[in-house]
């Protein structure tokens, strides 16, 4: 289905050793299209993708509780528990994928790693939103922030080299969320999506462009380059994901090409 798209990634970037890698994350609101884009990227040679640990949050046969459902049903009670669990499981998933690739000797062949969200967005968007909206007490924020800072500093490979921001308006995300019909998301209000949209904008559209608050379109230099720098200094590629891309081959090819060029523009790290 995506064979023509995948071949675009099949050639090693000139001058880049195969032992060097770049780590990207797909960032964006709930329902922005991250899972769809990750599935597309997963078929590409030279790409290693890491899914968000959704199944872990939803519990399972081992009797673990559905923390995602608990959070959406009673965010005041479960915000700290869920956000801490989400952060830890995301970090564990990324580390586990890297260890597995190293053990199999396949890590060097994956020149670009793409994560479905990052530990950075856990803090910058979701935990920060809990703090801003009163779902975290100041004590809970201090505990979360201290633990997050320590873990990221201890595990440098959890840091990302660049973020791909799937930018979509909250109304678009709500329509997609309702369409996919995850039971846990049935009670998600649009104002929560609006809050998360604001947190993503504050973090990812920090330098290099201005945003028209009425149309949501990118203005200035970003019309051509679709680049920005996050508030914590991470290079950002901004993709307009209000239009559907899952069923549009031309748009998929354009997005893949943009991500490829973005990855190639970033300085790689040693494996």
* Residues forming the active site: 116
Give CA angle at 66 (65, 68), nearest 5°: 140
Rg (CA), the chain: 18
The C-alpha atoms of residue 236 and residue 163 are separated, in whole angstroms, by: 5
Distance of CA 267 to the CA centre of its chain: 20
Give dist(CA 193, CA 181) in Å, integer.
16
Measured CA to CA, the distance from residue 235 to residue 229 in angstroms comes to 5
* Closest to 204 in 3D by CA, of 175, 179, 167: 167
List Cα–Cα distances, 104 to 48, 97, 110, 166, in angstroms. 13, 11, 12, 32
């Amino acid at each position: 289905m995506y064979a023509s798209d995948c071949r675009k990634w099949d050639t090693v970037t000139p001058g880049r050793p195969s032992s060097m890698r770049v780590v990207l994350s797909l960032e964006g609101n709930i329902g922005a299209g991250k899972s769809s884009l990750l599935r597309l990227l997963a078929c590409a040679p030279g790409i290693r993708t890491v899914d968000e640990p959704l199944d872990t949050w939803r519990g399972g046969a081992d009797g673990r509780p559905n923390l995602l459902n608990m959070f959406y049903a009673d965010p005041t009670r479960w915000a700290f528990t869920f956000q801490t669990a989400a952060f830890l499981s995301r970090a564990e998933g990324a580390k586990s994928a890297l260890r597995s690739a190293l053990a199999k000797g396949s890590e060097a062949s994956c020149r670009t790693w793409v994560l479905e969200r990052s530990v950075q967005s856990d803090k910058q968007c979701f935990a920060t939103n809990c703090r801003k909206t009163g779902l975290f007490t100041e004590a809970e924020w201090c505990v979360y922030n201290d633990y997050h800072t320590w873990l990221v500093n201890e595990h440098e490979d959890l840091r990302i080299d660049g973020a791909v921001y799937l930018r979509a308006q909250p109304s678009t995300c709500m329509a997609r969320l309702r369409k996919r019909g995850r039971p846990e998301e049935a009670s998600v209000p649009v104002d929560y999506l609006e809050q998360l949209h604001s947190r993503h904008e504050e973090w990812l559209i920090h330098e290099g462009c201005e945003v028209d608050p009425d149309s949501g379109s990118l203005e200035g230099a970003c019309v051509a380059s679709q680049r920005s720098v996050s508030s914590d200094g991470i290079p950002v590629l901004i993709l307009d994901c209000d239009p559907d891309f899952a069923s549009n081959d031309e748009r998929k090819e354009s997005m893949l090409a943009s991500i490829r060029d973005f990855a190639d523009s970033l300085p790689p790290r040693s494996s």
